[in-house]
């Protein structure tokens, strides 16, 4: 996506294509968890049941979106050395309304999330997008990146949580699916999350490699 410093006005189609690329990169091909190894702790440690995963995803989204936009509009004005602290402070400010909204949507969720709710302020994916990407890109790119990354992140978080809760309890979101697997809480522990994440990252890398090979074959010769 074109950086803010460029003066040329891109055509509508290429802008849309570029926005879509930014979105799909955040969603899958450059997924922040599976490729960037960012924001690991909610996936491996907190994401052992679907309800917590959904609550964390919503909280993270409600913090990332406004922070990303603020950093997009104002981030370039702040010196590089000052920006990490400023981004953290902005995160902290937006955490308060986000946490309030989450508690309205899911009463008691803040209490059940415990330490993980507070640590979303310091989530490395959030800090990375707001500190390293948003200040240098246009607002539509930042929005596409935020949405792409958040959806990609949430899909990984909720997908893993679904699997782990099913292995642990034989049901998802406290609903009874009618099956029961004799698994103990081992699958709820962080080590299992790391291993699952490793395999998912391998799958993503494989898909990426295949896409690159196809793209190479499509390049006309001569």
Partner 1 sequence: MNMFMELCLAALLAVAAENVIFTGGIGFSRVLRAARKPKTIALYSCFVGLFSLASALTACYLGPVLLSNSTLLFMRPAVYAFCAALAYLLVAFVLKTFLPKIYGKVGAILSPAAINCIVLSMPYMQRSFAMRPHEAAGFAIGTGVAFFLAALVLSEALARYRNEYMPKAFRGLPSVLIYVGILSMVFVGVTGGRLFG
Partner 2 sequence: MPSLQETPCLRKERSVPSLMWNVTLALCTLLVLPTVYYGWRPLAMAFVTVALCCLAEVAVCLVRRRTIHSDPSLLVTGLVIALLMPVNAPFWMPAVAALFAVLVVRAPFGGTGCTPFNPAAAGVAFVTICWPERMFSYVNSTIGWVLPVFGDCTYMEVRSPAGVLKEGLKPDIVPLEMLWGRFVGPMGTTAMLVIGACGLFLVFRRIANWEAPVFFLLAAALWAALCPRIACSPLTSVKYELMSGSLFFCAIFMVTDPVTAPRTAVARSIYGAFCGALVMAFRHFGAYEQGACFAILASNAIAPLLDRAAGAVRVWGGKIVES
Q: Classify burial at 136, counting beta carbons within 10 Å of its beta carbon; exposed 0-12, middle 13-18, buried 19 or more.
A: middle
CB of 217 to partner 2, least distance (A): 19
Q: Which of 12, 81, 82, 184 binds partner 2 (CB under 8 A)?
A: 184
Stretch of 11-19, 134-142, 171-179, 187-195 contacting partner 1, by CB under 8 A: 187-195
For residue 68, state whether it binds partner 1 (rule: CB under 8 A).
no
Of 44 and 134, which CB lies nearer to partner 1 in the complex structure? Answer: 44
Contact 1, 18 (CB under 8 A): yes
Please measure the distance between the N-terminal and C-terminal CA atoms of the chain and give it in whole angstroms. 29
Q: Which of 41, 65, 140, 159 binds partner 1 (CB under 8 A)?
A: 41
What are the helix (H) ranges across the chain? Answer: 12-24, 40-41, 50-74, 83-105, 109-113, 115-119, 124-128, 139-169, 190-218
Gap between the Cα atoms of 181 and 189, Å rounded: 17
For residue 189, state whether it binds partner 2 (rule: CB under 8 A).
yes
Q: Of 68, 41, 59, give the one whose Cα is nearest residue 131.
A: 68
Residues in the chain: 222
For residue 136, state whether it binds partner 1 (rule: CB under 8 A).
no
For residue 81, state whether it binds partner 1 (rule: CB under 8 A).
yes
183 binds, among partner 1, partner 2, none (CB under 5 to 8 A by kind): partner 2
Q: Which of 22, 27, 46, 130 binds partner 1 (CB under 8 A)?
A: 46
Residue numbers at the binding site for partner 2 (CB under 8 A): 183-184, 186-187, 189, 191, 195, 198-199, 202
């Amino acid at each position: 996506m074109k950086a803010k410093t460029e003066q040329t006005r891109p055509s509508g189609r290429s802008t849309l294509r570029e926005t879509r690329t930014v979105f799909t990169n955040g969603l899958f091909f450059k997924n922040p968890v599976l490729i960037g190894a960012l924001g690991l702790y909610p996936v491996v440690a907190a994401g052992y049941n679907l309800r917590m995963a959904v609550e964390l995803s919503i909280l993270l989204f409600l913090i990332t979106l406004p922070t990303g936009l603020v950093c997009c509009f104002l981030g370039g004005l702040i010196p590089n050395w000052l920006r990490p602290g400023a981004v953290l402070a902005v995160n902290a400010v937006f955490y308060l309304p986000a946490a309030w909204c989450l508690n309205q949507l899911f009463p008691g969720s803040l209490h059940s999330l415990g330490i993980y709710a507070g640590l979303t302020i310091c989530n490395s994916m959030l800090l990375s997008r707001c500190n390293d990407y948003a200040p240098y890109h246009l607002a539509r790119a930042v929005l596409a990146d935020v949405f792409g990354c958040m959806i990609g992140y949430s899909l990984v978080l909720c997908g893993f949580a679904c699997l782990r809760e099913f292995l642990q309890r034989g049901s998802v979101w406290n609903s009874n699916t009618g099956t029961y697997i004799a698994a103990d809480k081992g699958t709820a522990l962080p080590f299992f999350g790391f291993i699952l994440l490793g395999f998912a990252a391998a799958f993503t890398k494989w898909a990426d490699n295949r896409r690159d090979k196809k793209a190479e074959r499509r390049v006309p010769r001569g």
